Amino acid sequence: MMQIQGVDIQPLDGLKVIDVSSFLAGPFCSTQLAEFGADVVKLEMPKVGDALRRFGSITPHGDSLPWLSETRNKKSATLDLRTPEGAELLKALIRDADVLVENFQPGTLEKWGLGWDVLKEVNPRLIMVRISGYGQTGPYSPRPGFGRIGNAFGGLSYLAGYPDRPPVTPGSATIPDYLAGLYGALGVLLCIQALAKTGRGQVVDIGLYEPIFRILDELAPSYHMKGYVRERMGPGTVNVVPHSHYPTKDKKWVAIACTNDKIFERLALAMGVPEWGGSGKWGTITQREAERSQVDEYVGVWTAQRTREEVLSTCESFQIPCGSVYAIDEIFEDPQYAARENIKYMKDSHGDTHAIPNLVPRLSDTPGKIRSLGPSLGQHNDEIFSSRLGLSKERIAELKAKGVI
């Protein structure tokens, strides 16, 4: 890590973020900022806290694993925004903040007197990230939304599974939450650049379904151009073949990706049937698409006669993109994951060690850092309300007695 006079330098040092969001999309957005130096204060409902604290596997001490992993590097303070005093305290924090992250249903903050029209007057340089099911505008904006709805409405769920079976969950119901959080963090970085030019803050508005729709390659332009409605293809991939998952002799699976004719020519050579590639019967993608099931079947027969390591080794020697279809136990045993330190081992406040995904991306000179796992509820109340806002012990006790903090 880059140092100046013994001080660690991170890209977002000095950036002050207030996170009033809950569950996953908004919190993941601010976590990305916290991992690269931002000072993130997470405000939660008194006594109750974020629902993410109770979601997923629970440790013996009562913390959820998603909470510990996905709210790392943050400070926790409690504040009931629904109360007039709570709203005023948020405004006080906003005056000295750079970013506010929220993911309430549209209209909720406005109902509490904390909409953008109010907050931009409190701090004209404020950047406000707003993540909701359908965004802040449009006929569906008032509707509640979760990741599963984002997958479905965004078009991904329809594509997941086999053509003769119902749509399935595309890996994880929370993909939209993570993607929306990433786009939210990107939005903050873009707004910081704009702020330097205009002197004004602005709103980053994201609907959970929008990042899903954005990443579906040619789904939209293909439909517009030729009316093509892509259906479920199992493990196959539109426009390319062989590009799927194939069984191995030792009951494992491998992914092979022949994204162009040259790669298939190398695969045909590796399989001992060079006449299939080049100017042969399956040398072009058009020829392979016309007989997709046969191509996949032959590749599957070839892989099934070999162990996974044999398939991987052969494909590597012929420069054919091929990888293991891993379960999580295999990930923990893999030397590539170990070499890249993709799994980070951290102790929580009780001294228990947890394995969490390490941060992404890795920067050569000013890398991010995981300093702590998810905080306990209200752990930093004194620091936030006393040191930052200058409230007296008596005032803090009064607000606590009233349920404001």
Average pLDDT, the chain: 96
* 326 and 345 within one domain: no
How would you list the strands of the sheet with 203-207, edge to edge?
74-78, 39-44, 16-19, 99-102, 127-132, 203-207
User: For the whole model, what pTM was predicted?
Assistant: 0.94
Tens digits of per-residue pLDDT, 56-66? 999 999 999 99
DSSP 281: T
Boundary residue ending a domain (292, 309, 332): 332
Q: Are residues 255 and 365 in the same domain?
A: no
Q: Are 347 and 290 in contact (CB under 8 A)?
A: no
Which of 306, 332, 358 is the last residue in one of the domains? 332
Structure tokens at 155: 């078009």
To the nearest 10°, the Cα dihedral for 77, 82, 84, 88?
40
320 and 353 share a domain?
no
Q: Is residue 282 packed enough to be buried (19+ CB in 10 Å), middle (13-18) or exposed (0-12)?
A: buried
Residue ending a domain, among 332, 358, 380, is 332
Residues 364 and 321 in one domain: no
> Within a domain: residue 36?
yes
Instruction: Verify that 54 and 185 share a domain, yes or no.
Output: yes
Question: Of 54, 152, 50, whose CA–CA distance to 104 is shortest?
Answer: 50
177 is catalytic: yes
- Beta 322-324 vs 253-257: how paired, if at all? antiparallel
Chain-centroid distance, C-alpha 145:
16
Domain that holds residue 303: 243-332
Q: Does 276 share its domain with 354?
A: no
Same-domain pairing of 14 and 131:
yes
CATH number of the domain where residue 192 is located: 3.40.50.10540
Per-residue pLDDT reduced to its tens digit, 286-341: 999 999 999 999 999 999 999 999 999 999 999 999 999 999 999 999 999 999 99
Residue ranges in 97-174 assigned as alpha helix (H): 108-111, 116-122, 147-154
Q: What is the pLDDT of residue 8?
A: 80
Please tell me what DSSP assigns to residue 284: S
Residue of 46, 79, 92, 78 lying closest to 389 (CA atoms):
92
296 and 153 in one domain?
no
- Are 72 and 373 spatial neighbours (Cβ–Cβ below 8 Å)? yes
Number of domains into which the chain is organized: 2
- 349 in the same domain as 323: no
Which residue out of 50, 177, 205, 296 is catalytically annotated?
Answer: 177
pLDDT in tens, 176-216: 999 999 999 999 999 999 999 999 999 999 999 999 999 99
Query: Does 314 fall in a domain?
Result: yes
Residues 134 and 82 in one domain: yes
pLDDT value at residue 378: 96
Amino acid at 164: D
**Domain at 288, CATH number:** 3.30.1540.10
Q: How high is the pLDDT of residue 42?
A: 98
Whether residue 230 is contained in a domain is answered as no
Q: pLDDT over 90 for what percent of the chain?
A: 98
